[in-house]
Amino acid sequence: ARLTKDAWRAASVRSAGLDGPGLDLDLVDAVLLTHRALGAVRTWLSVLLGPSGAVFKAATWTTGAPGESGLTAAVHRAGGAMFLQGSDLQEHVAEVALEGVRAIAWAGVPIRTAEGVVVAALQAAWTDAAPADPGELLAVGGRMLATQLDSRRDRLDLAEALEGRRLAAAELDSFFALSADLLAVTDTSGALRRINPAWSETLGHTRLEMGASTLTELVIAED
């Protein structure tokens, strides 16, 4: 069951476009807007990539390679807003996300797809007093990011669906043209709207001549 859940989450991360090297500028702007509203020293969007750790995709600072993040994992597991400060935060100060700052408070909220799958987390850290209700402010930013991610996923899904239809149509055209069987598309009156080359090869008439006939005219009365 765990593998199934992890596989579903990984598929959701890919469909939301969070597994690539960068992010849409709209997503980055949403993180920065939330950052200013929170008055945080750092605000970031993170993606949990299983055994390889977490990747910080859009942040108010530059980070290096992916690293382990207990805070990111905790937000994913909890599935709800979290807030740590003071001594409760001290065991996490060695994390990639908090290196280089003397954070006294941290908060994070999960970001879900329309189906409810957690694909990322929006997090923030403070070196001064945190807002009275950081979870609510983060939740607003999280909902804004979730909406943008769903919209991005819908665009990707539409592009994939259109490409799938194009490939299917090309495959059908190839089958129609190469088939040795007599294949035809008719209207309700039996007029031949489309035929494959096998008709001319079998009956000896040109496509133009065949186009002037109906299907019933080509069938022996006994049949």
Query: How does pLDDT run across 105-117, given as a tens digit for each residue?
Result: 999 998 887 777 8
Percent of the chain with pLDDT over 90: 3
Q: Rounded CA gap, 126 and 150, in Å?
A: 29
Q: Rounded CA gap, 188 and 150, in Å?
A: 43
85 token code pair: 């400060």
Please, what is the average pLDDT of the chain? 79
pLDDT tens-digit map of 144-178: 787 777 776 666 666 666 777 777 777 887 888 88
Q: Rounded CA gap, 183 and 174, in Å?
A: 12
pLDDT tens-digit map of 23-74: 777 788 888 888 888 889 999 988 877 666 777 888 887 766 567 788 888 8
The pLDDT value recorded for residue 8 is 65
Residue 67, sorted as left (phi over 0), alpha (psi -120 to 50) or beta, turns out to be beta
Cβ(6)–Cβ(91) below 8 Å: no
Q: How many CB atoms lie within 10 A of CB 2?
A: 6
The pLDDT value recorded for residue 1 is 46
Average pLDDT value for residue range 181-203? 83
Q: Which residues contact 164 (CB under 8 A, 6 or more apart)?
A: none
201 token code pair: 């090869």
- Give which of 121, 126, 116, 127 is closest to 139, Cα–Cα: 121
- Give which of 25, 34, 44 is closest to 148, Cα–Cα: 25
Q: Which residues contact 129 (CB under 8 A, 6 or more apart)?
A: 104, 105
Does residue 3 surpass a pLDDT of 70? no
Cβ(210)–Cβ(203) below 8 Å: yes
Q: Identify the H or E element spanning 44.
A: strand 42-48
What is the distance of C-alpha 121 from the center of its chain?
15
